[in-house]
Each structure stands twice: as C-alpha cells, then as structure tokens.
Amino acid sequence: MSTNSARALPLASEPAPASSPAPAADDFLPYGRQSLNEADIAAVLEVLRGDLLTQGPAVPRFEAALADYVGAKHAVAVNSGTAALHLACLAAGLGPGFSAVTQPITFAASANCIDYAGARADLADVDADTLSLSPDALSAYLDATPDCRAVIPVAYAGLSALDADFRAAAQGRTIIEDGCHALGGTRPDGSKVGSGGAAAMTCFSFHPVKPITAGEGGAVTTDDDEFARRLRLLRNHGMERDPEHFIGAERGPWIYEQHALGFNYRMTDIAAALGASQLTRLDDFTERRRDIASWYDRMLAGLDGVSPVQADPAMRARSAHHLYAVRVDFAGARRSRADVMAAMRAEGVGTQVHYIPLYRHPWRRPAFPRAEARFPNAEDYYAQALTLPCFPGMSEDDAARAVGALARALGRPIPGQSPG
Ligand SMILES: Cc1ncc(COP(=O)(O)O)c(C=O)c1O
C-alpha cells in the first residue's frame, strides 16, 4: 500500500503565494511532495525500536548504498544539502582570500556555502538551454578572476550539464556539483550524477520534495580519499578518532583529537534508514517523473505561449525531472505571473518560481551592481519561469488538471479540447 502522509509541502524557504485561500488539502496538487510507503515507515520504526538513534549502523549502510548507486568511491552523509555544500567548500580549501562561483538561478544555499567558508561568493550567468552555469560565462569569469578556487554548477531541475566543454571552461578549478535536484539523473558522459568522474564532489539534498527524502538530510559523493576524510572530520566537530592520524602521543580507548573547527552535521540513523529505503525506490521514482514530463510535454504542445525548459530529447532522457519548469509568455497573454499563480491556486494547483535570481535578493544585491545587464539569460528566464506540479504520486489526470488550470489562467483554449 502506498502512503502519502504529508500533504502540500512548501520549501521551507519558499512561502506559498498568499493571494487566495488554499483549497481543501485533499484536493490540493502541490508542486512537489514525497512518496512514502509501508517499507519506508517500517525501516524508520526498526531504528526507533533499536538502541541507536544516531551514530549507529544505519548511516554507513546508507552511505555504502548511495556510493554504490551513483558509482563513487565515497558517500559522506550529513544532515542537509546545505551542510553538504558547506563541507564540500571547506574540503576544497575555500576560505578568506579566495572566491568561488555559482549561478544566479538557484536556491540560496548554492552561494551561501561559499560565504560560510569565508570566501567571496561570485555569480556567472546560466546557459539559456540547460539553465546550468554557462561554460562561456564561466570562462570569461575565470579569465578575470585568478583567486577563484572552485566552481559550483547546479544540475537545475535534475539536469546535469557537466560535459567536456564545461570541464574545459572550469580551467582546473575544483568542480563541486550542486546535485540537490539530480539524484537519479545521468551526466552527459552517461555516468550517474554523483559519480566521481566529472566533478570532484557532488552534493545531494534529501528534503521531502527532492528525488528521495530522509526528512532532512544531505550527502557528498567523491572519489577522492582526502576530500572524504576531511568531510567526515568536519561533519563531527573536527574530531579525529583514528590513532593512525593522531598528532599527539597520548593513546587510550577514550582518546580523540580535535584537528579542525568542525560542526555537528551528523545524519541520524532514523534519517539514514528512511534514505536507504527510499534509495531502493529511486529508479521507480525517476521513471515516474519521466512519464509525468512526457505527459506535460504532449499536453503543453497545444498551449500557446508556454514552452517546457530543457526540452531537447537528449536532455529529457538524462534528467532526474525534479522540477517540471516552463517558460510562460505572460506579457503575450496579458496576464501577470502573480495573477496566473493565484488563479491556479484557486483551482487547487500549486505552482512555484525556481528561482528568484540570487543577485535580486536584498542581502546579495550590493555585491552585484548592474546585475540585470550582467546576467541576461537569468533575467530572461526569471521573467517567464513557472514550475508545475511534478512528483511520483501524480497521475496523468493530475497533469491534465494542472494544464487545464494554466490554460484557463492564461485565457487560452485548453489543449486537446475544442474551443466551442
Ligand atoms: C539547488 C539546491 N541546492 C541546495 C539546497 C539545499 O538543500 P537542503 O534544503 O537539504 O539544505 C536546495 C534545497 O532546496 C536546492 O534546491
């Protein structure tokens, strides 16, 4: 039996549009939602009935399964995607005097992690097709920025764009892929997102709207032994427990040494058990998301002024389809985005905008003067962006309902129905 206990779940950082009252929760189609079954629940209960809620065997078990799934030598589990990004920045040696660059179309955490490490967070524009960091913009940025030590491309909506052009453009800088949308997807070279080839480290999130959930959680995958050692050290207060790495001479079963300023970013066994159970379902989830994307693609082909992003069939085949995002010609339809979102919400269909470009946030704006002119692709996309519901529990009827609500909100005929 499939159990979907939680209902419309907003991203913690993204308040639902407030202009109209939410319809009854049972009818509401959120833009994302977890899928939990009895096996997931049993896995959590097993931990709750045991002795160790944290620092037990479930975390290394989850790490081994994740590393195996993505094809990486190491997976280091932490308690959020944000923590994963923070530790990856530190492991890459970011700190004062260095910069790192990410893209403006992303969630705040992709850049905040650079600031947490004490480095300067920079931005370069997205590619208009992939909506990931543009190789051309990256090259131009790096030519002018010798202190840049790491690049953080985002696999936007589930599509990794780490191809040979991108790697050449990165000019040897450490590549930390923000794969928080993309577990289950594949890279242009055919490897899984998270494998050790194209990126030095890949970061994942297990928030409930993500490809799999652990409640909250995250992980870094890497092939590099030294990065993995550093990540493990930093997630647990910087404490070294392996006598082989001790600096001092004192020995004993109680001895550990603090080697760095670390954090408590440990994942609990409760979360790890849920994550491991969900991981066994990931390929089914991804296949379902792919079906949903193809239903939408077909239905939206008949709706003027609306076009799916990343529509190239090769991109479609590789994406984890975390989000189903479209470009909408709001101006052509003479409707504002706020009105369209409110009208759809009144019909019980949740939408979102992924994302407000990072330089538009008041906190970042002072660092990016004249940003609108510097990031034309991000600006162009932001003006049109809308995310429609996409999660494994959705049916084809749900997708049709979302498309119908969008068509009505835009004042356009519903695709597949004659106007009369
Ligand atoms: C692209 C991206 N990066 C990082 C994060 C942060 O992940 P978490 O919420 O697990 O900290 C998110 C979460 O929304 C995200 O979408």
Which stretches does DSSP call E strand in 115-191? 120-123, 148-152, 174-178
Query: Does residue 205 have its Cβ closer than 6 Å to ligand 1?
Result: yes
Q: Is 125 within 8 Å of 96 (Cβ atoms)?
A: no
Which residue out of 85, 86, 107 has the highest number of ligand 1 atoms within 8 Å of its CB and is therefore the one to mutate? 107
- Asked whether 81 lines ligand 1 (CB < 6 A), one says yes
Q: Which domains, from first to last, does the chain contain?
A: 24-33+282-410 (3.90.1150.10), 39-279 (3.40.640.10)
β-strands 201-205, 174-178 pairing: parallel
Count the neighbouring beta carbons within 10 Å of the beta carbon of residue 52.
Answer: 13
Q: Answer yes or no: is the C-beta of 311 below 6 A from any ligand 1 atom.
A: no
Which residue type sits at 91? A
In the reported structure, the alpha carbon of residue 128 is separated from the centroid of ligand 1 by a whole-number distance in angstroms of 22
Q: Is 110 in the pocket of ligand 1 (CB under 6 A)?
A: yes
In tens digits, the chain (420 residues) has pLDDT values of 344 433 334 443 443 333 444 445 568 999 999 999 999 999 999 999 999 999 999 999 999 999 999 999 999 999 999 999 999 999 999 999 999 999 999 999 999 999 999 999 999 999 999 999 999 999 999 999 999 999 999 999 999 999 999 999 999 999 999 999 999 999 999 999 999 989 999 999 999 999 999 999 999 999 999 999 999 999 999 999 999 999 999 999 999 999 999 999 999 999 999 999 999 999 999 999 999 999 999 999 989 999 999 999 999 999 999 999 999 999 999 999 999 999 999 999 999 999 999 999 999 999 999 999 999 999 999 999 999 999 999 999 999 999 999 999 999 988 887 655
Contact 359, 123 (CB under 8 A): yes
Asked if residue 80 has its Cβ within 6 Å of ligand 1, the reply is yes
Mark whether 210 is an active-site residue: yes
Q: Which atom of ligand 1 is nearest to the CA of 82?
A: 11
User: CA-CA distance, 219 to 194, in Å (whole number)?
Assistant: 10
CA-nearest of 406, 219, 417 to 324 is: 406
- What pTM was computed for the model? 0.94
